[in-house]
Structure 1
Amino acid sequence: MSTTAAVAEGIPSSRTEPDPARVAKSAPRSHIDGVPVYGWGQAPPYLRTQTQLGEDRLKLAEGQPVLAYIETRKYGDIPLYDPAGAEKMKPLASSVKARMAKRRTCSTCGKVRDRIVHGKKCSVCRDKEHAKQQRLNARTCWDCRKVSERRLPAHHRCGGCRRTQLAKRREAAVAWVEKVIVCSGDGYGSECSTKVVTKKEARAYQKAQGAGRDWWMRAPHWPRRCPSCTEANERQDAEDRAKYQAAYERREKARREADNREQWDAAEYATAAAVVGGTSEGTD
């Protein structure tokens, strides 16, 4: 039984309410030659497009009128027809049905699906295989690739690999503290062992970053260099800037001189051409 018939049976005969399947859900947006144009999903539910009629093994009758349109952005205004006025298609031959069923048969599970199966597996088999792989990945250690019997924790590592990971993090944390408490030098190869921050402050900052983080950055309020290295770094930077500025000025001076020579050569060539042209005219 169709949905339209079921809805119609639910309405008592004593009531004069219209069939909900034949009532539009909103007013038409416009009209084309007197035929209403509805938005998506607003036309009377009983109407069908030509493609939907073909799915129901129906075809348009000769001269069958268009009862409404659906307004779409991509395909324009799609016409709608009354399935009651359409004609039934001829039954398919058994060979055609067999070929159609073969294209919809999954070679993995052997079941006939509603749509054509592209590839060797249907969507149901692919979803099952993907879910199986996801369960396997949840039990596989990211480091040693050993598969456990149960799902691994959020760190995705077995017990041994997790202990190794934590040990490496502790070593990295200790090495970071030893690195940031001393001066980083003047930045030009000079080493310095002057302490710029205490280990207690470094560990406190490290702890404040979170236990799950295995890398850290220098706090913005920490000095990167001691006063003497800072002065040496600034002095060297000033010298480098002066050298770069001098080299830039030399390049600019050479470029301007080259431009001036080209302009002078062009002016001389134009003057010589004018003189030669005037002499030729006088001779003629």
Structure 2
Amino acid sequence: MDPAGDRWGVPTWSWGQAPAHLLTRAQLRDRGLCPGGQPVAGQILWRSRRAARDGWTRAAYLYDVRLAKPRRPATPAQLRALAKALAARRTCPRCGRDAGYVLPQRIGACLTCADPWELGRA
């Protein structure tokens, strides 16, 4: 732990040791907030096998909830664009139907249109 920030340049805590007023972006988002341009107020460091290539250390940056701002709601145009993009991921290019699920990238078609060799069932 380095609450003064001498070693890493920003105050650093272990998992679960940070002050209650410092939250990650995900925690802010869950409360309907965003950092709002404020600088990083601290970080949490922990060891992870997933980050083995960079010394086994992962970081979560923390922001002061007292300086956070409300998130802006998505505009109707943004919501329409998102709906269109998600529909394109569900639409089979072979038969043109909405499959009701995101198409597997390795097959590139719905499971009805895919031949057995693509599915590995031959």
Q: Aligning the two structures, in what range does the TM-score lie when normalised by the shorter sequence?
A: 0.3 to 0.5
Normalised TM-score (structure 2): 0.45
Q: Which has the higher contact order (CA 8 A, sep 6+)?
A: 2
Structure with more strand by fraction: 2
Structure with more helix by fraction: 1
Normalised TM-score (structure 1): 0.24
